[in-house]
Structure 1
Amino acid sequence: MSCPICTKVADQKYRPFCSRRCADVDLARWLNGSYAVPSSDPEDIERAAEETAQQAPKLH
């Protein structure tokens, strides 16, 4: 089995990763939303648009 981050051979201690570093890289990707699953639900799209509008800087 190869590491999903760097493709080196996986270490049994960190399986499926080869090292602690690759495990941490994967965790960081989960925490910052890189692995988010896109939604086609209209309510999710509307909610995302509202959140984006609220976060946009307002010009005075």
Structure 2
Amino acid sequence: MVSKVKCHTCSTMVVWDSSSPFRPFCTERCKLIDLGDWAAENHRIADNPVIDSALSEAYLAELEQEMIKQDNSFFKE
């Protein structure tokens, strides 16, 4: 069975195999249009949620204590 997907740019159906060198895009042009959209930040991967600063400080203090226990010279005077 031949698998087909829609081109992410123009929605043309593309055969998903080695005969389609630009898959999942139908042409190099569509691939470059999509790349340009990423470069212009029109597409984004969602950021991490806002970090609670109090929790972050507690975590950093915990890491610092762990490093001191490991006799790390970074924290010695």
Interval containing the TM-score (normalised by the shorter chain): 0.5 to 0.7
Structure 1 gap segments, 5+ residues each: 43-60
* Higher strand proportion (structure 1 or 2): 2
Paired residues, number: 43
The amino acid across from 1:23 in the alignment is K
Aligned sequence identity (%): 26
Residue in 1 that maps onto 2:50:
41
For 2:46 and 2:24, how far apart are their aligned partners in 1? 25
Residue in 1 that maps onto 2:61:
none
Question: Scaled by the length of structure 1, what TM-score is found?
Answer: 0.57
Match of 2:28 among 15, 20, 28: 20
1:4 correspondence with 2:8: yes
CA drift at 1:10: 1.9
* Higher helix proportion (structure 1 or 2): 1
Change (3 A) 1:38 1:3: same
Question: Scaled by the length of structure 2, what TM-score is found?
Answer: 0.46
